[in-house]
């Protein structure tokens, strides 16, 4: 596995790779993960029989991927004799030269990400300025891959529009750990607990969710009736704190920061009345699958692969992106229908067990690996 995601994992793609690696190891395969070092120091360790390599990473933007590739190449030359296949994961993994088959899994297309992100900060300006480099790297990865995989049909469609896009793009869904993320006891009946999990970064729509809470406040919804808990951290943290303070939402919104403890995170999903994902663009969000596995009804924006996993009236509701007022009204309508929410809880778990368990997704990958090798 080759990725730019940090390990131990801190967000969806990292957990995706980690869970896939654990599944493959449990089936007798030997897995290496190559990622970035922190503070420039190369190191490696073995965790749960998975070997994690962290070659030197120098954060000199926008040339960071090219520089990292030089260090990764040295490692690959050393590892290649014992490797059957390389599985690379976007966004922006280091490029390698190898005679072995390469599978590339694209979690979200760079061009779509950049298009959907307005310039609102230094962070987003940097993203826009880096876009030509990022796009070139993604195009190069697509050309050199033996097999290309997308996590949703929407991501596959976006890749198919690239000038040098592959002739064939397979779709393999994200997976979720259904033993850790499972339904718990009945949620509290006296207060609606709304949960959102994700990076506090542009494009994730957290500002829309906060605006929706403010709208509910203006509509007369008492603070003791609804609480929003936000799990995650990122470059927008300060802005979000300022918004909460300026609009007197501290009794309604709680920032929990990043949570590494997966059992604790599962408890939050289990206790939630609703899970909300307000993103402006996505591939196929792992956090939605985690929430569904815990039996959460979902309210999410109709972006990327989300409509493939959230079905209006069955396991949740879809709203347009950038529409905080509609989001607020949708939340208020759902929390007034406990019988519908109970049915949505059951349906969420059923969908995950049928389509998104690691037994299903992992078997699919293992079969694809066998074809390539």
pLDDT tens-digit map of 124-179: 777 777 888 888 888 889 989 999 999 999 999 989 888 877 888 999 999 999 99
Report the alpha-carbon distance of residue 39 to residue 35 in Å, rounded: 13
Residue 102's φ and ψ, nearest 5 degrees, are -120, 120
Per-residue pLDDT of the chain (373 residues; tens, 9 = 90+): 999 998 988 888 999 999 999 999 999 999 999 999 986 689 999 999 999 999 999 888 778 888 889 999 999 999 999 999 999 999 888 888 899 999 999 998 888 777 777 777 777 777 777 888 888 888 889 989 999 999 999 999 989 888 877 888 999 999 999 999 999 975 555 689 999 999 999 899 999 999 999 999 999 999 889 999 999 999 999 999 999 999 999 999 999 999 999 999 999 999 999 999 999 999 899 999 999 999 999 999 999 999 999 999 999 999 999 999 999 999 999 999 999 999 999 999 999 999 999 999 999 999 999 999 9
Report the alpha-carbon distance of residue 231 to residue 206 in Å, rounded: 11
User: Strands across the sheet with 43-47, in order?
Assistant: 32-34, 50-54, 43-47
Exposure letters 199-208 (e unless 16+ CB within 10 A, then b): bbbbbbbbbb
**Using a CB cutoff of 8 Å and minimum separation of 24, what contacts does 5-11 make?**
5/35, 5/89, 6/35, 6/36, 6/38, 7/33, 7/35, 7/52, 7/54, 8/47, 8/260, 10/258, 10/260, 11/198, 11/199
Tokens found for residue 258: 């990043």
User: Strands across the sheet with 86-89, in order?
Assistant: 86-89, 102-106, 147-150, 170-171
CATH class of 192-355: alpha beta
Report the alpha-carbon distance of residue 281 to residue 113 in Å, rounded: 7
Give the pLDDT score at 251: 94
Domain boundaries, the chain: 12-175+357-372, 192-355
Task: Read off the pTM.
Answer: 0.89
The model's pLDDT over 229-247, given as tens digits with 9 standing for 90+, comes to 999 999 999 999 999 999 9
Give the pLDDT score at 11: 85
Q: Are strands 86-89 and 50-54 parallel, antiparallel or unpaired?
A: unpaired
Give me the CATH topology for the region 12-175+357-372: Rossmann fold (3.40.50)
């Amino acid at each position: 596995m080759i990725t730019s995601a940090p390990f131990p994992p801190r967000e969806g793609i990292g957990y995706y790779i980690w869970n896939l690696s654990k599944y493959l190891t449990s089936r007798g395969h030997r897995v290496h993960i190559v990622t970035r070092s922190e503070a420039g120091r190369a190191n490696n360790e073995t965790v749960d029989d998975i070997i994690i390599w962290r070659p030197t990473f120098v954060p000199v933007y926008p040339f960071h991927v090219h520089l990292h590739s030089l260090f990764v190449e040295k490692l690959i030359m050393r590892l290649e004799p014992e490797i059957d296949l390389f599985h690379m994961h976007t966004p922006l993994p280091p490029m390698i030269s190898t005679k072995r088959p390469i599978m590339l899994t694209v979690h979200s297309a760079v061009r779509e990400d950049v298009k959907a992100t307005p310039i609102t900060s230094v962070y987003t300006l940097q993203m826009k300025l880096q876009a030509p480099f990022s796009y070139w790297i993604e195009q190069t990865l697509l050309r050199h891959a033996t097999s290309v995989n997308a996590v949703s049909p929407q991501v596959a469609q976006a890749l198919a529009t690239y000038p040098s896009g592959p002739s064939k793009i397979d779709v393999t869904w994200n997976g979720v750990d259904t033993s850790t993320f499972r339904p718990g006891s009945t949620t509290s009946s006296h207060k609606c607990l709304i949960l959102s999990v994700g990076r506090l970064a542009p494009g994730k729509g957290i500002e829309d969710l906060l605006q929706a809470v403010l709208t509910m406040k203006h509509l007369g919804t008492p603070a003791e009736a609804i609480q929003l808990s936000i799990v995650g951290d990122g470059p927008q943290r300060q802005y979000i704190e300022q918004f909460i303070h300026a609009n007197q939402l501290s009794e309604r919104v709680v920032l929990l920061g990043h949570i590494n403890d997966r059992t604790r995170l599962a408890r939050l999903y289990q206790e939630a009345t609703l899970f909300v994902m307000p993103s402006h663009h996505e591939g196929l969000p792992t956090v939605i699958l985690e929430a569904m596995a815990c039996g959460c009804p979902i309210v999410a924006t109709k972006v990327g692969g989300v409509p493939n996993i959230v079905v209006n009236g069955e396991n949740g509701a879809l709203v347009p992106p950038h529409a905080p007022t509609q989001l607020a009204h949708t939340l208020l309508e759902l929390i007034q229908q406990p019988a519908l929410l109970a049915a949505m809880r059951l349906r969420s778990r059923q969908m995950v067990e049928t389509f998104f368990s690691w037994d299903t997704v992992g078997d699919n990958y293992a079969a694809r690996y066998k074809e390539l090798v």
